Amino acid sequence: MASEKRELLYHSVCLEEGDCKGCTTCMRYCPTQAIRVQNGKAKIIREKCIDCGECVRRCPYHAKRVVSDNFYTLKSFKHNIALVAPAFCGQFSKVTNIDLILTGLKKIGFDDVFEVARGAEVITAKTKEILAEKNHEGPYISSACPAVVRLIAVKFPSLSDMVIPLTSPMEAAAQMARREAMEKTGLEDDEIGVFFISPCPAKVTAVKQPLALDKSSVSGVIPVKDVYMKLVHALKSVDKIEKLSVSGKDGIRWARSGGETEALGIKNYIAVDGIHNVIKMLEELEDEKLNNIEFIEALACTSGCTGGPLNVENEFVANSRIRNLTEHLEKGEAKGENLSLMWDKKVEYEPFSPLDTDINKALTKMQQLEEIYARLPQLDCGSCGSPSCRDFAEDIVRGKAQERDCIFRLREKIEVLAKEIEELGKMIKE
């Protein structure tokens, strides 16, 4: 049942098959072993994918795409607001003022702007309250990164109760933006479009199919790079910069790894970034090696949201710019009354489908898997089209691959055959 449900999950990451050369790069970097390469083309196993975007970042042929919204979607609403993540402000060289970026957005089709950093300030304050309650053993894990929340649901279900059940800064900001716009314009909720400018595919998925909310307050998601292309030109024609930025340093610093924790003022914490590092850290946590830690900030992209694959700028350059843009700012103050900040529902564990629904058959298949694995070279070379020998053995048991797809096993079989033919030849001569 669970796997059927997971098949139905929305995914923003997809393959443009015509552009795929079957090079296996994406397969080797996918953190959840969700990719196979068969018949010269990559294939995503939907139930395993967490939309982290690692394959989008790694594919040398740009064959992995992110399905998102575009500027045409703005036509569906009477009043459109750009929801600006702090990471967005680090994308522009020669820009020394956040207000210039926000004013520019009003020139390319948005009626207003709202900083996600304001949502981050509200979430920071609420997180402090939750940490003070301390109602479980071990550390709390931040729920800010949707790829990490999905990763925990798919691979680390035993840690799900450690995830802080709070909505993201993006969702908090969307609620605040809507409320302000309704007051300002007198329009109804459904006449207002709130568009998040996203650095990553996981945020697209989090809006289209939120795991822990009944419905997102965000109307659509447009990638940073699409907005950037329009905005760089528009910035040249801004003659009067409006005073639009009201966020403090604490909200904006969420753009980079460690920023959330600095805003919380916690000393005993781990801030980990990059999906493979996050996995290592969660494995340690699962092994109860981190019970003395108070808080874990885990972000799927290297350096944090500035490292998202939909950005245009190098993450380290972007982080440096954000530091410069915000050095004069005050800490910032949470202003957001009566918002719905807690999750509507628990994130359910969505296991990958078992080897068999019948327990006895599943056990037999597990034994077969181990036998096949023992015969394989255990080099994890990937030339069979599966990310590791163990995954390959599992694919064989599931009927998705054949042992001869392994070049080492094939060579062994050919050697045996060659010997048999030689023996036969000798017998014929005799």
Residues making contact with ligand SF4 (CB under 6 A):
13, 15, 20-26, 30-32, 34-35, 37, 42, 44, 49-55, 59, 61, 63-64
φ, ψ for residue 114, nearest 5 deg: -145, 130
φ, ψ for residue 391, nearest 5 deg: -60, -35
- We find the least distance from the C-beta atom of residue 153 to ligand SF4, in angstroms, to be 12
- We find the least distance from the C-beta atom of residue 22 to ligand SF4, in angstroms, to be 5
- We find the least distance from the C-beta atom of residue 398 to ligand SF4, in angstroms, to be 18
User: Which residue's CB is nearer to ligand SF4, number 49 or number 172?
Assistant: 49
- We find the least distance from the C-beta atom of residue 308 to ligand SF4, in angstroms, to be 12
User: Which residue's CB is nearer to ligand SF4, number 309 or number 332?
Assistant: 309
Contact between 272 and 297 under an 8 Å Cβ cutoff? The reply is yes
- We find the least distance from the C-beta atom of residue 16 to ligand SF4, in angstroms, to be 8
- We find the least distance from the C-beta atom of residue 147 to ligand SF4, in angstroms, to be 8
User: Which residue's CB is nearer to ligand SF4, number 17 or number 344?
Assistant: 17
- We find the least distance from the C-beta atom of residue 290 to ligand SF4, in angstroms, to be 24
Distance of CA 246 to the CA centre of its chain: 28
- We find the least distance from the C-beta atom of residue 50 to ligand SF4, in angstroms, to be 5
User: Which residue's CB is nearer to ligand SF4, number 309 or number 336?
Assistant: 309
User: Which residue's CB is nearer to ligand SF4, number 150 or number 409?
Assistant: 150
Q: What pairs with residue 194 in β-bridges?
A: 81
User: Which residue's CB is nearer to ligand SF4, number 178 or number 208?
Assistant: 208
- The CA-atom distances, in angstroms, between 130 and each of 123, 125, 404 are 10, 9, 54
User: Which residue's CB is nearer to ligand SF4, number 25 or number 103?
Assistant: 25
- Of the candidates 113, 105, 109, 112, the one whose C-alpha atom is nearest the C-alpha of residue 74 is 109
- We find the least distance from the C-beta atom of residue 21 to ligand SF4, in angstroms, to be 4
- We find the least distance from the C-beta atom of residue 316 to ligand SF4, in angstroms, to be 22
End-to-end, the C-alpha distance of the chain in Å comes to 63
- We find the least distance from the C-beta atom of residue 55 to ligand SF4, in angstroms, to be 3
Helix extents (H) in 339-388: 359-375
User: Which residue's CB is nearer to ligand SF4, number 22 or number 138?
Assistant: 22
Q: Give CA–CA dist 51/221, Å, rounded.
A: 14
Q: Give CA–CA dist 106/111, Å, rounded.
A: 6
Within 10 Å of residue 249's Cβ, how many Cβ atoms? 20
Distance of CA 73 to the CA centre of its chain: 23
Residue burial 120-150, b: 16+ Cβ < 10 Å; e: rest: bbbbbbbbeeeeeeeeeebbbbbbbbbbbbb
- The CA-atom distances, in angstroms, between 365 and each of 196, 368, 374, 389, 402 are 46, 5, 14, 16, 15
Q: Residue type for 13, please?
A: V
Strands of 262-389 (E only): list them.
Answer: 269-273, 295-299
Q: Give CA–CA dist 258/253, Å, rounded.
A: 8
Residues 6+ apart with CB under 8 A from 290: 138, 139, 270, 281, 284, 296
User: Which residue's CB is nearer to ligand SF4, number 202 or number 406?
Assistant: 202
Contact between 273 and 267 under an 8 Å Cβ cutoff? The reply is no
User: Which residue's CB is nearer to ligand SF4, number 67 or number 241?
Assistant: 67
User: Which residue's CB is nearer to ligand SF4, number 147 or number 231?
Assistant: 147
